[in-house]
Amino acid sequence: MSEVAIVGIGMHNFGRSPRLSGLDQGANAVREALRDAGLAWKDIQVAYGGSQDAGNADALCNQLGLTSLQFTNIWNGCATGGSSLSAAYNAIKSGSADVAMAVGFDKHEPGAFNADPKDWGLDEWYGEAGLMVTTQFFAMKIQRYMVEHGITDDTLIKVAQKAFYNGSLNPRAWRRQALSYDDIANSMMVSHPLRKYQFCSPAEGGAAIILCNANIAKRYTSKPVYLKAAVVRTRAYGSFEVYSPCQAKERGDAPSVKASQDAFELAGVGPKDFDVLQLQDTESGAEVMHMAENGFCEHGEQEHLIQSGATAINGSMPINTDGGCLANGEPVGASGLRQVFEVCLQLRGQAGDHQVQGKPKLGYTHVYGAPGLSGVTVLEV
Amino acid sequence: MSEQTPLGNGLFSWPSDSPSLLGSRCETCGEHFFPVQKGCANCSSTDLFTVELGNKGTLWTWTIQGYMPKSPYNSDETPETFTPFGVGYVEMPSGVKVEARLKENTPESLSIGMPMELVIEPLRTDKQGNQIMNFAFQAIK
């Protein structure tokens, strides 16, 4: 089996680009990744990509060039980017391609998502009754988690405060203004216990990652980042998931539990080995719960870890160093690849003001998407 | 003559003097589901039978929908008349937890573990004047 290296990363900054379509933003990300790797579009042998709301990724070829490459569209909720990367990783690993690309982009309307129940195997009543709302799920999951594991409202506010502070250090973030504790605590309650500034916003943007067989990585870059694992796992029975009219009697493991365990095994590493983490922070409670679901602490330990500053850029377990979804917004198709972009910057030592000190060697990314799947990666230099 | 029509099929017994939520029980593994399902998410069996899930339970988790959802939300409300509503999962006697709107809509009136009862209430009135009926839970006083 071939080893896999990342040799090119590109992003069209997340936020709002009124003059550009989602596809345009995806194409910009691809061009930046190609420049980063010193490759031309015709060099890409296989590509996987997707958006939720901005069209088929294959249409990118119309402006990037019709080169006969194999291009597969991916549509996997918020885990679209992670799923595209996993497919590209497997294409290299299997030996079927030497150079591959994963690309994601999106362009969402402002305001909360309004999914169609039919797209998710649900009947119309679920949406008509006002239950097809992702913010409700996130609020209800953390509401119970706070009681079961002693997480405080204060900690959830501090997670958001950290995200916007990190965003203020990142020239490519959408939200670049640090918010005070009171700004967050006094913002509108959207879905109790979570307020406006504790939720990420649907946004626009694009991200692209170029991978190759590790044997040839040095042709393209002096600093390859090795992709040691790229794993996607869907929910197990009993896991508490979004868009679920009912929940099983017994609680099962979240998809992130299985995805992280399988990724650690594939990469031959453990959760204590990592220097920098990107964990899906759709809202501030998600970051807290995903710390434990991915094995980086026990359930309940987050309270102390966050309060003591362990998850800050200069802490022992830096999380969402680029500001995460909270400061970058969420163009669904691109979001998971933004995390990989950020970890590559960190491992290359190119993250500037938001650089984790001490030359991080091992990084982790994690996206979670509807209706209950997780995509994770292990990255190493 | 106006009628009261359920919002969907297989959700609750209606019309009824003492309505119950409907669901499926898997004959193979014994798991319960809401609403009525075609296949078992636990054991893959198709040996499912429609059962009554009951009309009382306890609150497993909750939130409050503070803003009016976009379409496909379909009530008679406008952004001006919208009233925040509670949303929760209610654990039924069989152990299955059912997601539902809650009549209570303030943090002070909701807590995990509180006993809840089913109510059937109008969600909207259609063009013919029929009331479209939805299920919800409220605290047992």
Domain count, chain A: 1
pLDDT of residue A360 exceeding 90, the answer is yes
Q: Is the dihedral of CA A106, A196, A281, B101 positive or negative?
A: negative
Mean pLDDT of chain A: 96
Question: Which of A255, A272, A284, A254 is CA-nearest to residue A364?
Answer: A272
Residue A19 lies in a domain: yes
Tokens of A184: 């967050």
**Pairs of CB atoms within 8 A across A/B:** 122
Binary contact (B96, A247; C-beta < 8 A): yes
Q: Do B112 and A147 touch (CB under 8 A)?
A: yes
Chain-wide mean pLDDT for chain B? 95
Distance CA A376, CA A256 (A): 8
pLDDT of residue A121: 86
Structural domain includes residue A327: yes
Between A272 and B10, the higher pLDDT residue: A272
Does the interface ipTM go beyond 0.85? yes
Mutate to test the interface with A, among B28, B63, B67, B109 (most CBs of A within 10 A): B63
Q: Is omega for the bond preceding A371 within 30 degrees of 0, making it cis? A: yes
Flag whether residue B29 sits within 8 Å of chain A, measured between CB atoms: no
Rounded to the nearest 10°, the torsion over CA A276, A322, A166, A54 is -140
A198 secondary structure, DSSP code: G
Contact B44, B11 (CB under 8 A): no
What six digits make up the tokens of A85? Answer: 């990367």
Mean pLDDT for A202-206 is 96
- Identity (one letter) of the amino acid at B130? N
Which of A111-125, A200-214, B39-53 comes out lowest in average pLDDT?
A111-125
Query: Looking at the domain assignment, is residue A131 inside a domain?
Result: no
pLDDT of A2 reads 84
Say if B86 is an interface residue toward chain A (CB within 8 Å): no
Q: Does B69 touch chain A (CB under 8 A)?
A: yes
pLDDT, mean of residues A3-26: 97
A245, B134: Cβ pair inside 8 Å?
Answer: no
- Report the share of chain A in percent with pLDDT over 70: 100
Report the pLDDT value the prediction gives residue B1, as an integer from 0 to 100. Answer: 56
Which residues constitute the domain of residue A343? 4-111+199-380
Local confidence band at A78 (pLDDT 50, 70, 90 cut-offs): confident
CATH assignment of the domain containing A42: 3.40.47.10
**Residue A353 forms contact with B (CB below 8 Å):** no
Q: Å from A91 to nearest chain B CA?
A: 31
A192 shares contact with chain B (CB less than 8 Å): yes
Asked if the model's pLDDT at residue B97 lies above 70, the reply is yes
Give the model's pLDDT for residue A245. Answer: 96
- Alpha carbon of B30: minimum distance to chain A alpha carbons (Å): 11
A289, B61, B109, B130, B139 from A145: Cα distances, Å:
8, 9, 19, 41, 22
**B50 pLDDT above the threshold of 80:** yes
